[in-house]
Amino acid sequence: MNIRAVFFDLGGVILRTEYQAPRMRLAERLGMEYEDLERLVFASETSRSASLGAISEDEHWDAVARRLKRPQEVAAIRDEFFAGDALDHALIQFIRSLRPRHKTGLISNAWSGLRQYIIEQKFEDAFDRMVISAEVGVMKPKAEIYLLALEQLGVRADEALFVDDFIENVEGARALGMSAIHFTESQLAIKQVKQHLKN
């Protein structure tokens, strides 16, 4: 098996919540459980709509603030919620190092602001193509988003490797014939990718 392309997820892989304290403090300030706050932001109906591009990221956050009965605090809530997130610069550098020998891509369930965030953080050069659910109207683990990514890089499923932190997304890729790694830790994932590329 000759791997020609490696795809990565963003949230939970390249961008991770390394420090939970800010989010925990926010939940406490709002008088709610940490898990309930995360569900409201990531698993609510408006989050799903934003991930499919039906509404904007700002509209989703406005809905979150309304649900929390704090519509005036939307910017502060958003900033505080993400204050503990950090980019894995070593992993980004590793992804860059795969090119040009291998093609690289992003497949992310994300809201409309993601592409601009990646450009602002200056790592769009790590990827040949970025497939973002809000831009294409379909989310992992549906087959269509993987097929679109494969088509954009001009590779077959059996020539592609995918790295994601959600097992259902890993299984979705494998169901199409892609190789896939369930991300748990950065250095381990790098080792696993190298191993796949050796075979």
pLDDT tens figures, 94-140: 999 999 999 999 999 999 999 999 999 999 999 999 999 999 999 99
Q: What is the mean pLDDT of residues 153-165?
A: 98
Residue 20 has pLDDT above 90, yes or no: yes
Q: What is the mean pLDDT of the chain?
A: 98
Q: Number of structural domains, the chain? A: 2
What are the two backbone dihedrals, phi and then psi, of residue 6, each rounded to the nearest 5 degrees? -125, 125
Do 125 and 170 share a structural domain? yes
Q: Distance (Å, rounded) from C-alpha 57 to C-alpha 110?
A: 9
Expressed as residue numbers, the domain containing 102 is 5-16+86-198
User: Cα-atom radius of gyration of the chain, to the nearest Å?
Assistant: 17
Global pTM reads 0.96
Contact 54, 60 (CB under 8 A): no
Do 77 and 91 share a structural domain? no
Residue 149 has pLDDT above 70, yes or no: yes
| E strand intervals along 51-144 | 85-87, 103-108, 129-132
Do 191 and 108 share a structural domain? yes
Residue 72 has pLDDT above 90, yes or no: yes
